[in-house]
Amino acid sequence: MNRQASSPQSASTKEFHGDLLSTYGREPLLPSEREYKTWSAHGSSFAYAIATWCFLTGGITAEYVGAVQGMVCLIAGNLIGTFLVSASLSQGCQRYGVEQIDFCKPAFGQNGARIVLIFYLFNMLGWSGLILVMFGNGIANIVQALGYQSAHWQVGLGVALGIWLTYVVTTRGVHLLAMFNSIITVALIFIIIFMFYMLLNAHGWDEILAAKPLDPLPVPWMNYAVALELGIASGMSWWGGIGFLARNTKSRRNAIYPEVLQLGLSFGVVCSIALFSGLVIGSNDPTEWMVPLGGVFMGVLALVFVGLANITSTSVSLFASGLALRHLPGLHTTGWKLIIALTCVPLMFFVFWPHELYDMGDAFLAYNGTMHAPVGGILMVDYFFLRKQRLHLRSIFEADPGGQYYYTKGFNILALSGIAIGQVTYFLVYDPFTDEASALFQFLPASIAAFLLPALVYWIGMKFWVQGGRHSRPLNEVALPGKLVVPNL
């Protein structure tokens, strides 16, 4: 083992329980170990983006606005939201090969990042559960399309099948995940074009353009504002998967362009198709309208691929969650299969109570929206403006109070307060639970306000308080020679 670790070449061979601790763990990932080149980076981002959540988002947008305004809100909003949260994460995780929660340590502190971790796991596993219920619903609809009686328990069984498929894909590693995603991507593109064609063929562009929103709010300007907020918040909700995708890319361009183009643009385009179907058919769920429009064979084929798309998205989420679990004591070197099995445990609730948990999805999504924006704003200021894209990598893995990112007992109170400030700001501008909004919401989306204010407070505080006080070293200080005192493995 000592011999293995003695040369740079051997760094990639370090393994426990047969798993490389770089690929399946938190160690900085060397460029030679990364899987994603241009095509696979685009393919994985696309396969991650396209799942039933597109149809959910598009369907909700159809309640507020028509086709043109909805398309603008979904595509433009997604692009804005995705870029704002991915700029710092993609560049930082790719440059230093670090896992997403480790990237949060310079801003939030060694222990503060663990608070972000709790939110992160809650977000990733919650989303995975919701998607798996949609996968289960799809299976029930396939059963119905084939002429059999669908039953309540089939959804739960579908969730269980989805968990098993995800487990199989995720435990086979990033290479298989990338290959699987690349194949699914091609099929999905054809299916989506086919769906759009069927929709246009059945209803025509004029009918889509003329369709009225399904359930608009009484205050006219609110509808456009809420739809735009939905678009931006959806874009920001990619925060959870961005670090994983970027860390596995070989080049800096592949770390960010695929995320903006696939998670931002492609997602917005597919959401728009769901918006159109919501407007003219009254259902955003393609598993309900594909069979009547496309016929049994094409309809079922489409349903199968939409279902598989949910599996690819969940696989990326679980892989990233598994890496994040490595932060917990005792799980640093645990076998990868056991780690992924642990991420599947909370998902089992969705097997037994799929509909009950799915019904709580709106509140879950709304709460998530209030968290991504402030974290994204703080990370952007921290990485680009305070540290000038230079991190002290050793301090990320240093649990000793002498590390640069230790702050106060391991917590950067300023950054953590920023999250609370962002959440309060969000609710003051727009309350997603009650649809009440301040006048400011007409001009400034709540996510943007919750992004900008914590970012500004954090920048001022770090410049004049933290940096001027105990942490008086330059924030973009480069590496100093030395050894880890208390390694945070």
Partner 1 sequence: MLEHEDVKDLVLDLEQRIDMMQNMGDAELGRFNGLDWVILILISIVIPVIVVVAAQ
Got the DSSP string for 216-270? Answer: --SSHHHHHHHHHHHHHHHHHTTHHHHHHHHHTBSSHHHHHHHIIIIIIIIHHHH
* Site for partner 1 contains 489 (CB under 8 A): yes
Task: In angstroms, give the least distance from the CB of 270 to partner 1.
Answer: 17
Q: What is the DSSP code (8-state) at residue 381?
A: I
> Can you tell me which of 256, 318, 437, 462 binds partner 1, judged by CB under 8 A?
256
Which of these ranges, 16-24, 143-151, 294-302, 433-441, lies near partner 1 under the rule CB under 8 A? Answer: 16-24
* Helix H or strand E segment including 430: strand 430-431
Minimum CB distance to partner 1, residue 459 (Å):
19
To the nearest whole angstrom, how small is the minimum distance from the Cβ of residue 84 to partner 1? 8
**Amino acid (1-letter code) at residue 265:** L
For position 385 contacting partner 1 by CB under 8 A, the verdict is no
In the window 447-486, what residues touch partner 1 (CB under 8 A)? Answer: 478-479, 483-484
Residue type, 61: T
Q: How far is CA 316 from CA 169, 254, 268, 333, 377, in A?
A: 10, 17, 19, 20, 24
Per-residue x/- marks for partner 1, 31-50, CB under 8 A? x-------------------
The only residue of 248, 254, 262, 370 in contact with partner 1, by rule CB under 8 A: 254
Interface mask toward partner 1 for 211-250; x: CB under 8 A = -------------x---x---------------------x
| Residue pair 302/138 in contact by the 8 Å Cβ criterion | no
- Torsion 336-339-345-346 (CA) sign: negative
Query: Residue 118 class from Cβ within 10 Å (0-12 exposed, 13-18 middle, 19+ buried)?
Result: exposed
Angstrom distances, CA of residue 156 to CA of 140, 163, 168, 364: 10, 11, 19, 20
- Region label for 431, one of left (φ > 0), alpha (ψ between -120 and 50) or beta (otherwise): beta
CA angle, residues 133, 290, 297, in degrees to nearest 5: 105
User: Which positions from 305 through 364 interact with partner 1, judged by CB under 8 A?
Assistant: 333
Provide, rounded to whole angstroms, the least separation between the CB of residue 389 and partner 1.
8
Pick between residue 94 and residue 310 the one whose CB is nearest to partner 1.
94
Task: Identify the CA nearest to 178 among candidates 324, 54, 319.
Answer: 319
Of 34, 89, 96, the residue nearest 249 (C-alpha): 34
Q: Which is nearer to partner 1, 186 or 209 (CB)?
A: 209
**Rounded alpha-carbon distances, angstroms, from residue 171 to 24, 54, 176, 313, 314:** 9, 26, 9, 15, 13
Toward partner 1, which CB reaches closer, 318 or 452? 452
Q: Shortest distance, CB of residue 318 to partner 1, whole angstroms?
A: 24
Q: Give the residue with the Cβ less far from partner 1, 215 or 443.
A: 443
Under rule CB under 8 A, which residues in 388-407 are in contact with partner 1?
392-394, 397
Segment holding 16, helix H or strand E? strand 15-16
Q: How far is the CB of 151 from partner 1 (least distance, A)?
A: 44
Residue nearer to partner 1 on the CB measure, 17 or 175: 17
Q: Which residues contact 365 (CB under 8 A, 6 or more apart)?
A: 233, 237
Q: Binding to partner 1 (CB under 8 A): which residues in 68-87? A: 68-69, 72-73, 75-77, 79-80, 82-83, 87
Q: Which of 253, 388, 409, 473 binds partner 1 (CB under 8 A)?
A: 253
Which of these ranges, 117-125, 135-143, 252-260, 375-383, lies near partner 1 under the rule CB under 8 A? 252-260
Q: How far is the CB of 2 from partner 1 (least distance, A)?
A: 7
**Smallest distance, Å, CB 97 to partner 1?**
5
- Nearest CA among 451, 111, 478 for reference residue 459: 451
Which residue type does 56 have?
Answer: L
Minimal distance in Å, beta carbon 452 to partner 1?
13
Smallest gap from Cβ 272 to partner 1, in A, equals 13
Out of 104, 131, 242, 260, which residue is the one contacting partner 1 (CB under 8 A)? 260
Options 43, 92, 97, 278; binder of partner 1; rule CB under 8 A: 97
The DSSP annotation for 149-202 comes to PP-HHHHHHHHHHHHHHHHHHHHT-HHHHHHHHHHHHHHHHHHHHHHHHHHHHH
- Is 31 or 474 the residue whose CB approaches partner 1 more closely? 31
Question: Which whole-number Å values give the CA distances from 408 to 22, 104, 306, 376, 460, in the listed order?
Answer: 29, 16, 47, 22, 18
Stretch of 26-34, 172-180, 190-198, 362-370 lying at the interface with partner 1 (CB under 8 A): 26-34
**Contacting positions for partner 1 (CB under 8 A):** 1-2, 4-5, 8, 11, 14, 16, 21-22, 27-28, 30-31, 68-69, 72-73, 75-77, 79-80, 82-83, 87, 91, 94-97, 224, 228, 250-257, 260, 264, 333, 392-394, 397, 478-479, 483-484, 487, 489
